A and B are shown apart, each in its own frame.
Chain A
Amino acid sequence: MLLDAFLALLDIWVLVAAVFGIVVGIVIGAIPGLGPTMAIALLIPVTFSMAPIPAITLLLGVYQGAIFGGSISAILLNVPGTPSSAATAIDGYAMARKGQGGKALRIALYASVFGNIFSCLALMMLAQPLASMALSFGPAEMTTLLLFALAVIILFGGGAKLDAAIMVLIGICAGIIGLDPIAGTPRFTFNNFALENGFQLIPVLVGLFAMSEVFLQLFNRPKASAGAQEVPELLPTKVGLAEMWRMRTTMFLSSVIGTFIGILPGIGSTVPAFMSYSLARSRSRSRDPSSFGKGAAEGVAAPEAANNAVTGGALIPTLALGIPGDAVTAVILGAFMLQGLAPGPFLFRDYGVEVYAIFEALLLSSIPCIIFGLLLFRVAVHVIRIPPRHLFPAITILALLGAFSVNNSMVDVWVMLGAGIVGFLLRRSGFPLPPLLIGLILGKSLEQSLRQALLTSGGSLEIFVASPIAAGFLVTIALCVIAAAVFHLRTRNKSEKSATGNV
């Protein structure tokens, strides 16, 4: 299988796709406000006429490149290009102010590639066994697995849990529109034939992440008089193998954290980036306690290794179970479906060669990522300076094309605009969008498996306790709720105590 997959990679278009994806990813990721989610969603139309392997390689290249690109503006401007680069900015920007911006960028690049390779290997080892295990799941097991995924998103996704729950429920409600998955009855279509297919994923994604960003940037438009931020000078520097070798344990532990937190749905790459930064700082206490926050190289390597390791980790449940780990993998899931490769337990059985070829392409993409990363960070410095008033009108036009091109339908463009307005209002109100998106994706499967299970059992809930796997998931959900409640109470008590102490 691995050899067949490697042979499938021996196509010049795969290399071209990987390089194009990485270059576009680095450039777009470097621009604050334009993350990998928007980049991939806008580039999906480019992949329509491509074969599945180069198409997905291109999009994964964008993902890989954008995560590194996010660290460029974080290090040079203290403005994270992606939320996950915020941890990198702490020590990266401190290094840049000391004239070590080039060194910080090189460390970020090498750590990113390390994290990516580690998580790719984990992906290759874990995804297929997980998919094989899921093949034996019936409707009851699938229902509880999906409930577990949604519970993790709500409880551990960060931010207010009630807000995340509301967003998940809104996403599930949006998924109800269209034909009923079992009886085929139209639901909330208002006799509109176009709505019978429900909301297509890509137009909703483009609206939620690209169009809403345009509206949000317009809302928060900085004053025209605000000058461009000064970029510190990039002095010629080199990072030796010995220096990277010294950070091997930090990079390894950060990659483990990134990969395994990436597997959990909905958490994203910001949490593991900060976790690995904290771990690196606590491990360094015995050696150099004062360097963190003032330009420590390990403070750059740790979050970068972790947030890149999330790439492979998040793809494990996405491809093996059809459960996206975060917003970016939700877009990649949509791209897989558009290419006819439906993620889930059957993916590895039916398209094993294609899937392993994509994994190998992701692994080998590390080589062009290093080459173009080193070549492009000086170019990216200029891209960061493109003013929003030139950038966002172009994004509006690309969003119109992205939504139309899915089905060549104007209805999808209207859906995109509607999703953009809703996304803007929700983001402006501080509600998180990823739970909504994951609710939309998982809602249909949840309904289908729940109703199938209940129809099989004649409406009895015993079916969820009778299966050991389903019961195990229910117990895990209960444990997660208890753990989240205990953590919440402890945090509240701590903050109350510190507030009392301050008075």
Chain B
Amino acid sequence: MTGAARQKTGAMRGIQTLASSLVLVGAIAGLSLLESQIEVFSFGDTGIDARFFPRIVLGLLVLAVLIRLFVHRRTPDMPLGYVSSWLRVGLAVVAVTLGLILMTSIGFLAGAALSGFVTALAFGERRLIFSVGLPLAVAALVVLGAREGLNIPLP
């Protein structure tokens, strides 16, 4: 397959391989942490302890992902996508994370409005009334409804 053709149909290594590899690393890490993360007080039981089920499931997961990687080793993969697309998602993730970190000190209203504002910017909204005003109005309505109507003690 030529480079141009591969560009059209998808790369040999793409996002599916990346996601599968991440799952594989996670499952192997889970298996290696099994002893330290699950304490077992054995009193001569049959081995059906707290590590029994996780060991089977993580082992099956490793096996399934390895089979997937092997089966699809020559199949064209989905391309990773444009850097700008990832940057937009990254911006929204950072905004929500920042909103959550600040939420305990600045309150739900400001934290949620900040997350909504940056998300609107990432979506390409440039008019102030919609990028700032709309998230602020939604956050204010949510806070009002949650506190007065649903008795939820928001931060």
CA distance A421 to B94 in the complex (A): 11
How far is the CB of B133 from the nearest CB of chain A, in Å? 11
Q: Which of B20, B38, B48, B122 contacts A185 (CB 8 A)?
A: B38
Q: Are B146 and A401 in contact (CB under 8 A)?
A: yes
Q: Which residue of B lies closest to A175 (CB)?
A: B57
Given known A221-B123, A398-B142, contact A185–B40 (CB-CB < 8 A): yes
Given known A188-B33, A397-B115, contact A166–B61 (CB-CB < 8 A): yes
Q: Are B93 and A421 in contact (CB under 8 A)?
A: yes
Interface flags, A344-373, vs B, CB<8A=1, else 0: 000000000000000000000000000000
CA distance A166 to B130 in the complex (A): 41
How far is the CB of B67 from the nearest CB of chain A, in Å? 6
How far is the CB of A149 from the nearest CB of chain B, in Å? 16
Q: Are B134 and A417 in contact (CB under 8 A)?
A: no
Chain A residues near B138 (CB-CB < 8 A): 393-394, 397-398
| A220 interface residue per 8 A CB criterion | yes
CA distance A247 to B38 in the complex (A): 60
Chain A residues near B139 (CB-CB < 8 A): 397
Within A176-226, the residues touching B (CB, 8 Å) are: 176, 180, 182-183, 185-190, 211, 214-215, 217-221, 224
| A426 interface residue per 8 A CB criterion | yes
| B19 interface residue per 8 A CB criterion | yes
Given known A162-B71, A430-B16, contact A450–B23 (CB-CB < 8 A): no
| A163 interface residue per 8 A CB criterion | yes
Q: Are A393 and B50 in contact (CB under 8 A)?
A: no
Interface flags, A34-66, vs B, CB<8A=1, else 0: 000000000001101100000000000000000
Q: Which residue of B lies closest to A426 (CB)?
A: B19
CA distance A388 to B134 in the complex (A): 13
CA distance A434 to B138 in the complex (A): 29
Q: Are B93 and A429 in contact (CB under 8 A)?
A: no
CA distance A394 to B116 in the complex (A): 7
How far is the CB of B152 from the nearest CB of chain A, in Å? 5
Interface flags, B18-54, vs A, CB<8A=1, else 0: 1110110001001001000111110000111110111
How far is the CB of A465 from the nearest CB of chain B, in Å? 18
| A433 interface residue per 8 A CB criterion | no
Please classify how large the interface on chain A is, using the bins under 10, 10 to 19, 20 to 34, 35 or more.
35 or more
Chain A residues near B130 (CB-CB < 8 A): 389-390
Within A399-423, the residues touching B (CB, 8 Å) are: 400-401, 404-405, 408, 410, 413-414, 417, 421
Chain A residues near B12 (CB-CB < 8 A): none
Within A436-459, the residues touching B (CB, 8 Å) are: 443, 447, 450-451, 454-455, 458-459
Chain B residues near A410 (CB-CB < 8 A): 100, 103-104, 155
| A264 interface residue per 8 A CB criterion | no
| New A-B pairs, 20, CB < 8 Å, besides A188-B54, A429-B15 | A166-B61, A166-B64, A169-B61, A170-B23, A176-B57, A183-B49, A214-B92, A214-B119, A219-B81, A389-B125, A393-B119, A394-B138, A400-B99, A405-B150, A417-B100, A421-B93, A424-B89, A426-B19, A428-B78, A455-B46
- B-side residues, CB < 8 A to A, are 15-16, 18-20, 22-23, 27, 30, 33, 37-41, 46-50, 52-54, 57-58, 60-61, 64-65, 67-68, 71, 78, 81, 85-86, 88-89, 92-93, 96-97, 99-100, 103-104, 108, 111-113, 115-117, 119-120, 122-125, 130, 134-135, 138-139, 142, 146, 149-155
